[in-house]
Amino acid sequence: MKGVSNHPLRAAAERLRRSERLVVLTGAGMSKESGIPTFRDALEGVWARFDPEELATPQAFQRNPRLVWEWYEMRRLQVLQVQPHAGHYALAALEDRLPQVVVITQNVDGLHRRAGSSDVIELHGNITQHKCFADCQGAPTLLDIATLSQTEVPPRCPHCGAYVRPNVVWFNEFLPVEALERARDLCLRADVVLIVGTSGIVQPAASLPYIAKQHGRAFLIDVNPQRDEIAPICDIFLQGTAGSVLPQLVELLDG
């Protein structure tokens, strides 16, 4: 058998090649090269005067529904204008090379699915979707804003009259139960976890690599231009961007 490479990229590719239950955990850094600022940069320009944690909360929405609605509409339109980059396509390409690949993302931009990943768990929802603030028909009560009257901003739920809101998780809110349960279960059973573009700060997503490591004995590979909170428990830290490292991993897999 070829000696295990001591070059981190090669060693990571060799471990990926042998994976049977791969989980990929992505954060805002995964979408940076598509032109979507990471969460903290999101307030460039006109929004610079607001703290995101004051905008992305149910309380902020109730205090000023129009402001929060417009902030999310600005981000939604931004997301609709960008494209997945080579890193997203590389993750989708893993599905043709490995027996199981599930992407668990904190991102709300939908870019993994647009790049062709077929099994994506959106822990924080999806900014291109909308729902009734009261979830009056069950959680989530998804609504198509194209069919709603735009006389009011935000529009109103046609069922109960509550405001319509983006279908994303806000601070102080619980994550979608089924998504989080499935994510935890996959991390318990994963043999390899590839972590890309997350600072590893925001819970409960940040606990997933620990679950995989401590309870599931998974091999952790971290991809980030700078050391993040998760790097210390990872087996391999690949310093670089998603758009450059992930295509190289696929190339080595094919080599």
Contact flag: residue 242 with ligand OAD (CB under 6 A): yes
Chain centroid offset of residue 10 CA: 26
We find the least distance from the C-beta atom of residue 181 to ligand OAD, in angstroms, to be 18
We find the least distance from the C-beta atom of residue 101 to ligand OAD, in angstroms, to be 18
Which stretch, 32-40, 148-156, 157-165, 183-191, contacts ligand OAD (CB under 6 A)? Answer: 32-40
Angstrom distance (rounded) from CA 254 to CA 173: 42
Q: Which residue is nearest to ligand OAD (CB)?
A: 29
Query: Going along the chain, which residue ranges are E strands?
Result: 22-26, 101-105, 120-122, 125-132, 142-143, 164-168, 192-196, 219-224, 236-239
Contact flag: residue 201 with ligand OAD (CB under 6 A): yes
**Which of these, 204, 200, 28, lies nearest to 107 by C-alpha position?**
28
Contact flag: residue 106 with ligand OAD (CB under 6 A): yes
We find the least distance from the C-beta atom of residue 248 to ligand OAD, in angstroms, to be 13
* Sign of the torsion angle spanned by Cα atoms 59, 65, 146, 80: negative
We find the least distance from the C-beta atom of residue 11 to ligand OAD, in angstroms, to be 19
Contact flag: residue 224 with ligand OAD (CB under 6 A): yes
Look at the chain and count its residues: 255
Q: Which residues in 163-192 contact ligand OAD (CB under 6 A)?
A: 169
**Which of these, 113, 132, 124, lies nearest to 179 by C-alpha position?**
124
Is the CB of residue 244 less than 8 Å from the CB of residue 196? no
* Sign of the torsion angle spanned by Cα atoms 212, 214, 217, 219: positive
Which stretch, 1-9, 112-120, 127-135, 218-226, contacts ligand OAD (CB under 6 A)? Answer: 218-226
7 is an active site residue: no
Site string for ligand OAD, 60-89 (x = CB under 6 A): ------------------------------
We find the least distance from the C-beta atom of residue 197 to ligand OAD, in angstroms, to be 3
Angstrom distance (rounded) from CA 200 to CA 243: 19
Q: Which of 124, 130, 159, 215 is the catalytic position?
A: 124
Q: Which residues have a Cβ under 8 Å from the Cβ of 34 and sit 6 or more positions away? A: 82, 83, 84, 85, 88, 109, 111
The binder of ligand OAD chosen from 43, 98, 148, 202 (CB under 6 A): 202
Q: For ligand OAD, which is the closer residue by CB, 150 or 226?
A: 226
Residue 126 pairs with which residues in a beta bridge?
167
The binder of ligand OAD chosen from 84, 154, 176, 197 (CB under 6 A): 197
Chain residues binding ligand OAD by CB under 6 A are: 27-29, 32-33, 38-40, 56, 106, 124, 169, 196-199, 201-202, 224-226, 228, 241-242
